[in-house]
Amino acid sequence: MAILAVNAGSSSLKFSLHPLQGGQVQPSVLTGCIEGLEPAGAPEMVWSFAGQRQRQAITGQGDSPFQRALASLRSLLADLEGAPPIRAVAHRVVHGGQAFRESVLVTDAVLERLERLNSLAPLHQPHNLAGVRSFRQAFPALPQVACFDTAFHASLPDVASAFALPASLTEQGVRRYGFHGLSYQYIMDTLLAQSPRGRGRVLMAHLGNGASLCAAQDGRSCATSMGFSALDGLMMGTRSGTLDAGVLLYLMEQGWDHDRIQKLLYKQSGLLGVSGISADMRRLRADGSVAAQRAIDQFTYRVVRESGAMVACMGGLDVLAFSGGIGEHDAVLRAQVCDRLGWLGVKIDTERNALATQDSVQVVHAPGSSVEIWVVPTDEGRVAAREAAHLLHQGDDAIAPAPVLEMAD
């Protein structure tokens, strides 16, 4: 049997198939992404299985791009020779709020409660939940499991999660939740398995189109840069990160309404807004213009500044780990961040760092560095699959055999 892990976005659907062996979730045997799912888009599926990479256009009439994509995925799963049958579908859901602090089987009531959180993560939550609904219809016999990015941060102490607001608002759930939790769980598990320092003072940097930092001690989140929504903290691809609330009051005085402000903060700021060119760090690196460099410098500065805050909360640093699209592949940014954290005893190995762009865990600290530096390619799908397997078989020593479940027509 296997767990199908999916991440439904506004214009894409990422998926991976994770076999179960001896009760343990294994690395994926099938990975892929369907892009072009926006209205009037031209969906295309790219997938890898048994060492082969395939690409195919998704055609059809009448249905939405997402429905056509889902039908193509169903056909792919049915046709792949040697692919294990699916036991359950694990969904990445960005926000679990106060009610959901661990993964949960999806029901109508669960979906209704999660939809109340859409405004806290408007770029992700509505699309995550739309994906859940579509998979429930397409695979009605399969359990659907919601796995939350906020769950890893349930261990935040009150002093780290509470805003300086009246207690009545805190009691309503206006607090810091933190995100990228599936990624941080994977990074943390990797460090715990490979380094004796993993239980020490760890700073994890998930840097990509969405970007955040997480401080952890004894394997548990104790501080994070993201907060009530996925807007807080670091500068991101199109999101502003931390912003003086007075700016929003000023914009409201200038006549800006909710929708215009939301679009500014989520879609027109960050690397894109500062550069006026792109939200893609690779394109900005290649551009070479003053505007592109300004955006890169500001992004790097914010990572360094927020890192100092995380380290202060822990009283020092034992391990620094980079992940995410930028964190895994941008050696220049890693070197600049580590150089500016040199006062902590952080010393990066130039040659190791330059080579650490492959899809494997790499150690990149120099001899004599008092802080270990790791590059950990994240695998949120494997964490979601593991959560689903654990939820379905709590108390079992192994995954019990299950009947092959048919897909809906």
The residues annotated with a catalytic role in the active site are 149
Burial of 103 (C-beta count, 10 Å sphere; 0-12/13-18/19+): buried
**Three-state secondary structure readout of 351-371:** HHHHHCCCCCCEECECCCCCC
- In angstroms, rounded to a whole number, what is the distance separating the alpha carbons of residues 311 and 202? 9
Q: Which residues contact 349 (CB under 8 A, 6 or more apart)?
A: 364, 365, 366, 367
Q: Does residue 280 have a known ligand-binding role?
A: yes
Q: Does residue 178 have a known ligand-binding role?
A: no
Residue among 89, 16, 14 at smallest CA distance from 49: 16
Q: Does residue 207 have a known ligand-binding role?
A: yes
Q: Does residue 206 have a known ligand-binding role?
A: yes
Answer for the pair 43, 160: CB distance below 8 angstroms, yes or no: no
Q: Does residue 326 have a known ligand-binding role?
A: yes
Q: Does residue 112 have a known ligand-binding role?
A: no
Q: Does residue 325 have a known ligand-binding role?
A: yes
Q: Which residue has the tokens 């380290």?
A: 311
Answer for the pair 360, 376: CB distance below 8 angstroms, yes or no: no
Q: Does residue 282 have a known ligand-binding role?
A: yes
Q: Does residue 80 have a known ligand-binding role?
A: no
Q: Does residue 7 have a known ligand-binding role?
A: yes
Q: Does residue 209 have a known ligand-binding role?
A: yes
Residue among 67, 206, 219, 75 at smallest CA distance from 149: 206
Q: Does residue 118 have a known ligand-binding role?
A: no
Answer for the pair 33, 46: CB distance below 8 angstroms, yes or no: yes
Residues annotated in a binding site for ATP: 14, 206-210, 280-282, 325-329
Residues annotated in a binding site for Mg(2+): 7, 380
Residues annotated in a binding site: 7, 14, 92, 206-210, 280-282, 325-329, 380
